[in-house]
């Protein structure tokens, strides 16, 4: 399987700080999709974003923004003005070719009051 | 309510027991998946069903047996499990095989 690497295992910030979660992926496919999911303590994986490989425009949704750089095979996620409710494990994932969704190991984010 | 419902939320079973995990989706999706999430390991894809047919089985031991009786329901039948099978089992569905997935809340399985 083509790997997805989230080098940061755990990050701890204080509320209102900005935080960036890194994601680097391997790919041999021309067409592929990249995802971010949030897993709060309750366990379910909450879909945040899906990008296809042809769309390198950065995206902003409220306090969330994503930076897709094909040249470096990265799809980083930034939370601006973090809040305690942002505390969760965040997963980056990739899907393409004949492969189904492949996840990174996740980054545990703790936002302290 | 995520649209994908998994029962039970928690399950403790002995190594000689037989139990089943249930997943139900009311989203009209055509594909359903079982994932295993163990501590400190990436999420592992176990099985994929598309239009009720199994399209992928990722070298999962035979003590795990999936069943998809219709496009809304997916089961994972468990028998003679090992303690290392203790994990969070997540079900997901998607409109098609390359669409975003909607996940359930998972079943936390403990094998004793």
Confidence label for B66 from pLDDT (cuts 50, 70 and 90) = very high
How far apart, in whole angstroms, are the C-alpha atoms of residue A80 and residue A57?
18
* Interface-testing mutation among A42, A43, A97, A103, with chain B (most B C-beta atoms within 10 A): A43
Note whether A108 contacts B: Cβ–Cβ < 8 A: no
- Please write the tens of the pLDDT for every residue from A8-39: 999 999 999 999 999 999 988 888 999 999 99
**Confidence at residue B33, expressed as pLDDT on a 0 to 100 scale:** 94
**Confidence at residue A42, expressed as pLDDT on a 0 to 100 scale:** 83
**Confidence at residue A30, expressed as pLDDT on a 0 to 100 scale:** 85
**Confidence at residue B98, expressed as pLDDT on a 0 to 100 scale:** 74
- Please write the tens of the pLDDT for every residue from A54-97: 888 888 889 999 999 999 999 999 999 999 999 999 999 998 87
Residue B65 confidence (pLDDT) above 90? yes
How far apart, in whole angstroms, are the C-alpha atoms of residue B61 and residue B76?
12
A44, B105: Cβ pair inside 8 Å? yes
Note whether A43 contacts B: Cβ–Cβ < 8 A: yes
**Confidence at residue B55, expressed as pLDDT on a 0 to 100 scale:** 79
End-to-end CA distance of chain B: 30
**A22, two tokens:** 């890194």
Percent of chain B having pLDDT more than 70?
98
Q: Which residue does chain B place closest to A44, by CA atoms?
A: B105
Phi/psi at B82 (5° precision): -110, 160
Confidence label for B2 from pLDDT (cuts 50, 70 and 90) = low
Lowest mean pLDDT among A13-27, B12-26, B40-54: B40-54
- Which residues in chain B have their CB less than 8 angstroms from residue A104's CB? 42
**A109, two tokens:** 């984010």
Alpha carbon A7 to its chain centroid, in Å, reads: 11
**Confidence at residue A44, expressed as pLDDT on a 0 to 100 scale:** 84
Q: Which residue does chain A place closest to B32, by CA atoms?
A: A100
CB-nearest to B42 from A33, A47, A104 is A104
- Residue pair B42/B71 in contact (Cβ under 8 Å)? The answer is no
**Confidence at residue A99, expressed as pLDDT on a 0 to 100 scale:** 72
- Which residues in chain A have their CB less than 8 angstroms from residue B33's CB? 100-101
Note whether A98 contacts B: Cβ–Cβ < 8 A: no
Average pLDDT over every residue of B33-53: 88
**Confidence at residue B67, expressed as pLDDT on a 0 to 100 scale:** 95
């Amino acid at each position: 399987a083509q790997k997805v690497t989230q080098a940061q295992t755990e990050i701890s910030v204080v509320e209102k700080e900005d935080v960036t979660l890194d994601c680097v992926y391997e790919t041999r496919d021309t067409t592929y999709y990249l995802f971010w999911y949030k897993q709060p303590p309750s366990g379910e994986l909450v879909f945040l974003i899906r990008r296809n490989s042809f769309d390198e425009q950065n995206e902003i949704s409220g306090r969330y923004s994503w930076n897709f750089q094909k040249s470096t095979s990265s799809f980083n996620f930034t939370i601006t003005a973090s809040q305690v409710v942002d505390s969760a494990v965040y997963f980056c994932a990739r899907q393409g070719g004949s492969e189904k969704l492949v996840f990174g190991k996740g980054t545990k984010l703790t936002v302290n009051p | 309510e995520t649209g994908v419902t998994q029962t039970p939320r928690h399950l403790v079973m002995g190594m000689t027991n037989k139990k089943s995990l249930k997943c139900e989706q009311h989203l009209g999706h055509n594909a359903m998946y079982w994932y295993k999430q163990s501590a400190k390991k990436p999420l592992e894809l176990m099985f994929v069903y598309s239009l009720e047919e199994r399209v992928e089985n990722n070298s999962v031991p035979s003590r795990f047996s999936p069943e998809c009786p219709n496009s809304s329901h997916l089961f994972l039948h468990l028998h003679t499990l090992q303690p290392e099978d203790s994990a969070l089992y997540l079900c997901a569905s998607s409109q098609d095989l390359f669409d975003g997935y909607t996940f359930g809340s998972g079943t936390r399985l403990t094998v004793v």
